[in-house]
Structure 1
Amino acid sequence: MFKDNFSRYEFKFPMSYDDMDRMIDDLIPYVKQDKYVNEYGIYTISSLYLDNAQKECYYETLNGDYYRQKVRLRVYGKRNDGDSDAFLELKTKIDGLVVKRRIHMKLSDAKAFIDECVSKGADASIDYECSNPQILKEIKHVIIRKQLKPVNVISYERLPLVSTEDSALRITFDFNIRSRDDDLDLTHGTDGERRIPKQVAVLEVKTNKAIPFWLTKILAKYKYRNQTFSKYCSHYAPMRILSEINIRKKEGEHNNVGQIHRKLNIG
């Protein structure tokens, strides 16, 4: 069921692809696969990020501001066209609590709405078919107030897992992160430059409760700590992002995605 308004805590743990592989072994007894995955147990995400000339959203995130806000347009899959499902999101973070308000609309309509907000300001129309007109109005206000415009497309693969005990507890592994700022059209595929090494994955724990003991124990085993990591910021400051995360690369070749999916076998 589509939720257009929710809040939760999100914890990020950058790690090596090898440790992602090993950690999945430990997670298997407690999780199941997300129902939207493809035959490899993953799906592809592409997000168009908006920012202003001062890179306000970028610096809010990079500096870890207490209150920060961003607007992005998200699609799923490697191929999209104007009729594809798109999700326009207003994401606010307040001292670690993430509040997300989002609407479902056609990609062509979402693009036209953003273009109108950028070019017409307060005169931009909100007469678009979408799941929640009130949220569309709020997003328009933020785009105009902050003078936002499209600046960057981030694409990556996600391996999503859900706790068998608590459907609100989601565990995701994001990898193969790539970005581009020369082509901002989400119908033009998922190609981009890899600013972050391919062997880096990002574990995200998303919950509206305390992290359960079994997961705390698994995280402690690998000695990774919750760290700030922004895919958007990684395009502009990859060396700073990499210098702030602790990635322990182990010897030997890691499994590919297909092998990891066969290992999961958790339905």
Structure 2
Amino acid sequence: MHGDRLRAPSRLHAFNRYEIKYLIDVDQVDRLREEIERRLDRDRHCPEEGYSIWSTYYDTRRLRFYWEKIEGLKFRRKLRIRHYGDRFAATAETPVYVEIKQRVNKVTQKRRVRLPYAEALALCDRRQMVESDSQPFVEEVLDLVSRLDLGATAMTGYTRHAYVGRDADLGLRVTFDRRIRGRDRDFDLAAQAENRLIVPARKAIVEVKANERVPYWFTDLAAAQNLQVVRVSKYCQSVEAYGLVPRSIFHISDDHHADAHRPAYLKV
């Protein structure tokens, strides 16, 4: 992508980052957040209780993007529509993001454009051109869904707490995701659909995103807390949880009985 496009006034947002993910027990979250809050600021969009993120992922009939992730290709990508906030309040005019997230070697690149929900669906589901001040990106999305015959495949949702760096840590972002759930049908955001927990309820995912490298203080904190790096994708978890493919070696399964008394399906 050309640098002049990034500098021009546009609703297209682009990010290049290194990402590391950790799987932790939920009873570690509060303690780890206390440590994080000593060095980072809470994201200004994040209330005390966190916020919801819902994403609809698009893939080919043979799940090309899923397999690119599982096989660890150096270049891989995903297309999704992402919504922040209460999904039941979503209307045709609700702003959402159409995103292409791709991995090039070890760098994660994310490009996205903000559109009304109805226009995002027109673009990704019905393959109709929509008007945007980021027209080259919209054209790229339309080409991708048309050329690869992409369709909505899985949805994920979770509650997130987010922190951003300050001073020497500018560009650093740390997020905590809990109640990670999904579904494989009824992809309308406001649908009265049931969602299955796709990561065990007692687990949370911590994501660390940095422009250049993760600071030493965080790697030291991770070592002190005995945090384990994992290779996990919420999209892949959802695909596997619904049996669209056999579970991979990367699947986070509930192999204990601690959650047996908890409901497997959630309405929210």
**2:105 equivalent in structure 1:** 95
- Go from structure 1 to structure 2 and tell me whether the alpha carbon gap of 1:67 and 1:112 turns closer, same or farther (over 3 Å shift): same
- Go from structure 1 to structure 2 and tell me whether the alpha carbon gap of 1:45 and 1:18 turns closer, same or farther (over 3 Å shift): same
CA distance in 2 between counterparts of 1:135 and 1:158 reads 27
1:77 aligns with 2:77: no
TM-score (structure 2 length as normaliser): 0.82
Shift of 1:188: 2.4
- Go from structure 1 to structure 2 and tell me whether the alpha carbon gap of 1:39 and 1:211 turns closer, same or farther (over 3 Å shift): closer
- Go from structure 1 to structure 2 and tell me whether the alpha carbon gap of 1:112 and 1:131 turns closer, same or farther (over 3 Å shift): same
- Give % identity: 28
- Go from structure 1 to structure 2 and tell me whether the alpha carbon gap of 1:17 and 1:3 turns closer, same or farther (over 3 Å shift): farther
Q: Which residue, out of 54, 62, 67, partners 1:54?
A: 62
- Go from structure 1 to structure 2 and tell me whether the alpha carbon gap of 1:112 and 1:2 turns closer, same or farther (over 3 Å shift): closer
- Go from structure 1 to structure 2 and tell me whether the alpha carbon gap of 1:2 and 1:211 turns closer, same or farther (over 3 Å shift): farther
Q: Which residue, out of 175, 179, 188, partners 1:176?
A: 179
CA distance in 2 between counterparts of 1:188 and 1:4 reads 28
1:201 aligns with 2:210: no
CA distance in 2 between counterparts of 1:61 and 1:198 reads 24
**2:34 equivalent in structure 1:** 25
CA distance in 2 between counterparts of 1:45 and 1:9 reads 21
**2:263 equivalent in structure 1:** none
**1:217 equivalent in structure 2:** 220
Structure with higher RCO (Cα < 8 A, 6+ apart): 1
Shift of 1:214: 1.1
| 4+ residue segments displaced more than 4 Å | 238-247
1:232 aligns with 2:235: yes
Tell me, which stretches of 5 or more residues in structure 1 are unaligned? Answer: 118-123, 252-267
The residue correspondences of 1:77-156 to structure 2 (distance < 5 A) are 77-78=85-86, 79-117=89-127, 124=128, 126=129, 128-156=130-158
Shift of 1:189: 6.4
Shift of 1:168: 1.1
Q: 3-state DSSP class of the match of 1:198?
A: coil
CA distance in 1 between counterparts of 2:90 and 2:252 reads 33
Alignment RMSD: 2.4
CA distance in 2 between counterparts of 1:164 and 1:223 reads 25
Q: Deviation digits for residues 200-230 of structure 1, max 9, x if unmatched? A: 1100001111111111111111222322111
- 1 or 2, which has the higher helix percentage? 1
